[in-house]
Amino acid sequence: MLAGALSVCPPIASAQASAPGEYQLKAAFLFNFAKFIDWPAASFSGPEARFSICILGTDPFGRSMDDLLQGKMIANRRVSVERSKQIADVRHCQMLFVSSSEKSRVKEILDGLKGTNVLVVGETDGFAEAGGAIQFALEDNHVRFLINTDAADRAGLTVSSNLLSLAHVVHDGGKNDRS
């Protein structure tokens, strides 16, 4: 299922002409990533807690993220989309998309999430190698992704082998110890 959803990545013609399409696609990737990652029960405040997908910094998705996720469920939990500019506001999230507007704060953000079960996803060059769990990359006019298994392990997350088989796997060797 994931291979089918992720293999139909339409080409990105040009950054300017395709920006809305690019972020609609990235929103779909985020939703699909969540289906193939297990979060520990302790990462939720309780059995009725929502699955929170948060955006830190300038929101490049616009309404596409909200429209895609409206009424959706992940791990038998309703999905909520939250936006913030403060690291302290996103420590409760299960998934965090770090906008490219936060490029200069990546180390600060990752350090601020130490000890949490947050899957941190970004789109800036070197994000995964710096300690982010997933990095979007444009290759040959397609959206691809890298997964840093060290970062996922430190966050206490289990990534499905099916998802790993579709990613470029990278390691940071514990550069950013989030435990």
How many Å apart are CA 119 and CA 53, to the nearest integer?
9
pLDDT of residue 59: 97
The domain that holds 56 is classified in CATH as 3.40.50
Per residue in 52-86, pLDDT (tens digit) is 999 999 999 999 999 999 999 999 999 999 999 99
Q: What is the DSSP letter of 7?
A: H
DSSP, collapsed to helix, strand or coil, labels residue 166 as helix
46: burial class by Cβ within 10 Å (0-12, 13-18, 19+)?
exposed
Residue 178 predicted with pLDDT over 60: no
> Is there a domain that residue 177 lies in?
no
> Is there a domain that residue 161 lies in?
yes
> Is there a domain that residue 49 lies in?
yes
How many Å apart are CA 54 and CA 91, to the nearest integer?
10
Q: Quickly tell me which residue has 């965090």 as its tokens.
A: 96
Per residue in 79-118, pLDDT (tens digit) is 999 999 999 999 999 999 999 999 999 999 999 999 999 9
Structural domain count of the chain: 1
> Is there a domain that residue 178 lies in?
no
pLDDT bucket at 175, cuts 50 / 70 / 90: low
For residue 119, the enclosing domain spans 2-169
Per residue in 131-154, pLDDT (tens digit) is 999 999 988 878 899 999 999 999
> Is there a domain that residue 179 lies in?
no
> Is there a domain that residue 175 lies in?
no
Residue 177 predicted with pLDDT over 80: no
What residues pair up with 38 in beta bridges, in sequence order? Answer: 158
Q: Quickly tell me which residue has 């790993």 as its tokens.
A: 164
